[in-house]
Amino acid sequence: MSTLHKIALTFIKLVGPATAKSLLAYCGSAENVFSASKKQLAQIPGIGAKTIEAVQNTGALQRAEEELKFVEKHGIETMFFSDDNFPHRLKHCADGPLLLYFKGKADLNHPRIISIVGTRNATEYGKNLCKQLAEQLAPYNVMVVSGLAYGIDVAAHKECVNNQIPTVGVLGHGLDRLYPQLHRSVAQQMVLNGGLLTEFPTLTNPDRQNFPQRNRIIAGIADATIVVEASIKGGALITAHIANSYNRDVFAYPGRTTDVFSEGCNFLIKTNRAALINDVNDLVYYLGWDTEVLKKKQQIQTALHLNLTVNEQKVVDCLKSGQLAVDELAIQLTTQQSKLAIVLLTLEMQGIIVSLPGKIYKLT
């Protein structure tokens, strides 16, 4: 399918992502949608006379030509929902966008993506949590997504930039502008390692209704959403609700019961809409990242074991069933403890086994 026709699909009035996907399913391609006759379009379930008229209006293609020129001029990547580069997590969201515009270098199919959201009126408590969170996430090869809004969003982006974590801002307008302007500097830094993402074309104003719509992308593109600070009403709770509807993990930092901007977090935890976390260790546990680290460690150990001597390998094989005292090892291996001690010391120095009180040994 041509990029022009893919973009044009998003400019057809009365046609949203769900209807556009239905048109594609029946017509086979974006080009075929625009070349289909009234009779052919009328046979598609849910497609009425007004929609047919909108599809056959040439205005969508003309507007798409303007958008394509802008995209090509500014090196913007387009991602259609059927393309390989489209975020695969969003493909599983029934109300996901049809087309995305992306400026940056991040991999939107990164193996670990976390969304961080919160109030626009961030307190020092919330900002410090963002700082702590970014510092602790840095070793885990993660990408962070947020909305580049005032408060927690921009604090999370800034801390990610400081810790060289790729971070992506999801916008409520086109890539021909930036809102708020105050965040232009951090946005420019984000593009170097992360990026800016939107489903909105150029000439789209940052209208109020666009931000709840973009929140579904923030929730859907990530494995989990973390609410740092939030009042009982606002975009952060909307994002958490959407993430729940997508069966994604939601986490929240607790706050004092008297803090207005922790009220939303406490509500999410109290109603089992979010799991309580105190730091990244909790996140690592819930998402099973510690299991992956353990597997990697075991793989390293296996590689080390390939270089063992015959006697060292015998000791390792014995300890695979569990920890053993030195005298039990000597009996099982039918060897003298004095000779065994040298083998045990060598294995311990290699970090393959560890010595416990009472001359008991086990594999690390």
Distance CA 177, CA 159 (A): 23
**Could you tell me the two tokens for 203?**
């000439």
Distance CA 126, CA 134 (A): 12
Low-confidence ranges of the chain (pLDDT < 50): 293-294
Q: DSSP assignment, residue 51?
A: H
Q: Domain locations in the chain?
A: 1-67, 103-287, 290-363
Distance CA 125, CA 348 (A): 44
Q: Which CATH number fits domain 103-287: 3.40.630.10, 3.40.50.150, 3.40.50.720, 3.40.50.450?
A: 3.40.50.450
Distance CA 12, CA 300 (A): 55
The SS3 of residue 169 is: strand
**Within a 10 A sphere around the Cβ of 40, how many other Cβ atoms?**
15
| Amino acid 211: pLDDT | 95
| Amino acid 291: pLDDT | 58
**What is the side-by-side order of every strand in the sheet holding 324-325?**
324-325, 360-363, 353-356
* E strand or H helix at 101: strand 99-104
| Amino acid 141: pLDDT | 94
| Amino acid 294: pLDDT | 46
Cβ-in-10-Å burial (0-12, 13-18, 19+) of 334 comes to exposed
Amino acid at 237: L
**Contact yes or no for 347/315 (Cβ under 8 A):** yes
**Could you tell me the two tokens for 281?**
């260790």
| Digit-coded pLDDT (tens) for 74-94 | 999 999 999 999 999 998 898
Distance CA 92, CA 246 (A): 8
CATH class of 1-67: mainly alpha
In the CATH scheme, what architecture does the domain 290-363 have? Orthogonal Bundle (1.10)
